[in-house]
Amino acid sequence: MRTGAVGDTVQEDAIKNGGTLLGADELVLNMGPQHPSTHGVLRVKLKLDGERVRGAECVIGYLHRGVEKIAESRTYQQFAPYVDRMDYVAAVSNGLGYCEAVEKLLNVEAPPRARVIRTILTELQRIASHLLWLGTHALDIGALTPLFYCMREREEILKIFEKYCGARLTTHAFRIGGLQYEAYDTFEKDVERFCLDFERRIQEYVDLLTGNSIWIGRTRNVGVLNAADCIALGASGPILRASGVKWDLRKAQPYAAYDQYKFEIPVGTNGDTYDRYMVRIEEMRQSRLICLQAIEKIPEGAILGKVGKVLKPQPGEIYHSIEAPKGILGYYVVSDGTTQPYRVRIRPPSFINLQALDKMCRGHLVADVVAIIGTLDIVLGEVDR
């Protein structure tokens, strides 16, 4: 429960902008925090003129657990599982970012075999995250079938995770310095089988949605964000690419083993909800190609680099960011020379992308807000941390 009356700040806003509270035909509508289309506990205060949105203010923090504070009283290794609980539908990506950041802080590198397996799992996770996004986003807009299709394929990926490390969602798949577990016997075969089958599956989603006139009507020119606005608002990931910026951290500053594989960066032109859909669909195809290339030749050798059991990085700091499924996921880690991080700052893509909601919603209908929240692909666990 929050102090203050509902809509008070939107009203203050109106006063600041020269209005007297709300206009005669304006009203404030409170959407969430318990609303199926807000993908968790997000509350949006909408200022409406009839059906038109004049402004949207997000109220967040319902899922705040103080992850950054917890980090300061855990050792570097102990904190690793906590990052899985931020973007809990892409836990593997979170773990990769954190482990690589601490490795850089320690000045160690994961061995080549670990890097390749990390890349495969992270790309599978990207597919799984995009599948969950596609299913729920389509469901929000009114298409029921894609959800079942997407969950079906996502299940296959989660089974691979489960076989690999025993967990499906909050995997804690990686360790600082490499991997804890060797790939299981049929790992390559499972990934290959999934990838070969998946091309056909993507085509099913495309057949259902891409040319569908209802889908086009609900997504084209909805929530347009151009490249300049994206950069000014810090929006990254598929949102940035849909606005035409051909930029991906996997290419710009390769990490893990991405420099070894060929893949394209899909871009859009309009920066609308439809383009973001097209970009994510194509990203799944590219992730599939990366996985296929990677399993062809997984280098032999150790999976854990030379890191001690007690990690004491030299005093100093590091900023490391990766291209998570939702955008730039950055870790700023400060060491004071002890076994516990002095400060861990997480740059969450969902939190920063969500800030664009207000700009994207203005002028649209209430029903479009649902489409726009969906297209932002936020996970509240990461927004609130």
Which residues form the interface with another protein (CB under 8 A)?
1-4, 9, 13, 60-61, 64, 66, 68-70, 72-73, 104-105, 107, 231-234, 245, 247, 252-253, 312, 314-319, 321, 328, 330, 332, 334-340, 342-343, 345, 347, 351-352, 355, 384-385
Torsion of CA 183, 186, 189, 195, to 10 degrees: -60
Rounded CA gap, 4 and 9, in Å? 9
DSSP state of 3: S
Which residues are paired to 175 by β-bridges?
Answer: 178
Residue type, position 84, single letter: D
**What is the smallest separation between the CB atom of 101 and another protein, expressed in angstroms?**
11
In angstroms, give the least distance from the CB of 228 to another protein.
Answer: 9
In this complex, which beta carbon is closest to another protein, that of residue 203 or of residue 338?
338
Question: What is the smallest separation between the CB atom of 6 and another protein, expressed in angstroms?
Answer: 13
Taking the least distance from each CB to another protein, the nearer of 76 and 164 is: 76
Residue 85, class by beta-carbon neighbours within 10 Å (0-12 exposed, 13-18 middle, 19+ buried)?
middle
CA gap 373, 350 in Å, rounded: 11
Looking at the Cβ atoms of 9 and 221, the one nearer to another protein is 9
Which amino acid belongs to residue 217?
G
Of 69 and 189, the one with the shorter C-beta distance to another protein is 69
- What minimum distance in Å lies between the beta carbon of 239 and another protein? 13
Q: Rounded to the nearest whole angstrom, what is the least distance from the CB of residue 84 to another protein in the complex? A: 20
Closer to another protein at the Cβ: 145 or 355? 355
Would you state the structure tokens that stand for residue 145, as one six-digit string? Answer: 């079938």
CB–CB of 292/195 below 8 Å? yes
- Which is nearer to another protein, 1 or 144 (by Cβ)? 1
Q: Output DSSP code: residue 86.
A: T
Closest approach, Cβ 114 to another protein, in A, equals: 20
